[in-house]
Structure 1
C-alpha cells in the first residue's frame, strides 16, 4: 500500500511517498501529486521517496511524469531520499543524468 503526504512552505511543495510504489499505486501517485500541485502552486516540487519500501519500474513512470509536468509549468523538480533499491532502478534507466536526485529526507 502507498501512502502520500504533502507539506508546503515558501513556494516549495514536498510530496512524500511511503510504502510500495508498484503498478497498482502508480496512477494514484500521479493523480494525487498533480492534484496537490494544483492545490498548492509552487516554484519547486520535491518528491521524497525516503519512505518507500519497494518500487518497480512503474515508479519510473511516476517520476518521469512529474518531471515533465514540472518542466512544462516552469517548476523546479527534485527527487530526494531515494532508498537503495529504487535508486538502482533509476540508475539503470539513466535518470540521474536527466534530473536532480538529492540524499537525505
Structure 2
C-alpha cells in the first residue's frame, strides 16, 4: 500500500491490483489533493507505461478531491488516451460525480482511447484521420 500524508486530512491510500496486467485496478481512498496526488500520478504513469487496454481507478473510498487531484485524473486519462489505454473510474461517490459533471471531465473520460494517426474531431464528435 502506498500512502501520501496531508496535515489535518485523511491520508491517501493507493492499492494496485495487477492480477490481470492488461487490466490493472487502482483503489484510491482518503484525500486526493495537492499534497497527496503525486502518489496516484506516479502509479498511473507506471501502469500506463505498460500499455494495458484498461486501467480502472476505484474511487469509492475517496473522501475529498481538490483541483490538483482532478488534474491527476485528467493527466492519467490523457497519457492513457495517447497510449491507447482507457482510464475508467469505478465507484464514483456523489460529490465526485457532481464535480466530474460540472467540469466536463466525465465527458472527457467517456471518450475512446486514441489511435495512432487519429484525433478527436470536436465539431463532428467523432474520430478523424490526421495523416
TM tier, shorter chain?
A: 0.7 to 0.9
1:10–1:27 Cα change, 3 Å: closer
State the shift of 1:7 in Å.
1.0
| 1:34-45 equivalences in 2 (<5 Å) | 34-38=45-49, 41-45=51-55
Give secondary structure in 2 for the equivalent of 1:46: strand
Structure 2's unaligned 5+ residue stretches are 1-10, 111-131
| 1:16-55 equivalences in 2 (<5 Å) | 16-38=27-49, 41-55=51-65
Are the aligned partners of 2:41 and 2:72 in contact in 1 as well (CA < 8 Å)? yes
Determine which structure has more spread, i.e. the larger CA radius of gyration: 2
Counterpart selection for 2:24 from 6, 13, 20: 13
Cα distance in 1, alignment partners of residues 15 and 51 from structure 2: 16
In the alignment, structure 1 residue 85 sits paired with structure 2 residue 78: no
Aligned to 1:3: 13
Structure 1 segments of 4+ aligned residues over 2 angstroms from their partners: 35-38
Give secondary structure in 2 for the equivalent of 1:98: helix
Are the aligned partners of 1:3 and 1:19 in contact in 2 as well (CA < 8 Å)? yes
State the shift of 1:51 in Å.
0.8
Q: TM-score, length-normalised on structure 2?
A: 0.68
Structure 1's unaligned 5+ residue stretches are 101-105
* Structure with a larger share of its residues in helix: 1
* Structure with a larger share of its residues in strand: 1
Using CA pairs below 8 Å that are at least 6 residues apart, which structure has the higher relative contact order?
A: 1
